[in-house]
Amino acid sequence: MDSTPAQKIGISLLTWCIVLFGAVTIGFVLRETDGRIYPVIQDFRVSEVANHDSGVTISGTMDKRRECYFRELVAYARYDDDEYPVAVPLEFDAAPVVSRSAIAQSWGPWVIELGKDYRDAEVSLYTRHSCHSLWDTSSQIARFSIRKENDSATIIRGTQ
């Protein structure tokens, strides 16, 4: 039995809706897993910590794995027993920040302003890179705790 023009249009519309839904779902899954499956930065290590008036200066090494354009670096700190982290100022103490080649390399010094009265802080560092034109890739590159005792800062636990 032949289908009517209205039935053909209905089937065609349903087919296009399924295709569109599938494409959007695949795009969303790829965007969310891009940085986890194929990270921009691996083996991020903090090797030096120096205390200053209202925070710490850190430096270390990392392995940049992908040729992506650097967009931003953001620091968050969760103090003592606070429930939620807050964004904290982060400054680059040396040369201006540029997109780097995909190789193992050193980084820093970076100054993280934690405030004069902090005692314990859990710091998380996030980067955002543009690896292609569809979306930016955001990644948590480090999370560590800092304890201030007798005017010196020490990383007491690195968790990533």
> What are the residue boundaries of the structural domains of the chain, listed by start?
1-37, 39-158
Each residue's pLDDT expressed in tens, for the chain with a length of 160 residues: 566 665 566 667 888 888 889 999 988 888 788 878 888 998 999 888 888 778 888 888 999 999 899 899 999 999 877 889 999 999 887 665 666 788 888 888 889 998 877 778 899 999 999 998 888 998 899 998 888 777 665 666 665 5
pTM score, whole prediction = 0.77
Query: Domain 39-158 carries which CATH code?
Result: 2.60.40
What per-residue confidence (pLDDT) applies to 31?
Answer: 79
DSSP class of 33: H
Beta bridge partners of 7: none
Contacts of 147 (CB under 8 A, 6+ apart): 119, 120, 153, 154, 156
Q: Which of 89, 96, 95 is nearest to 111 (CA)?
A: 89
Largest CA distance in the chain: 88
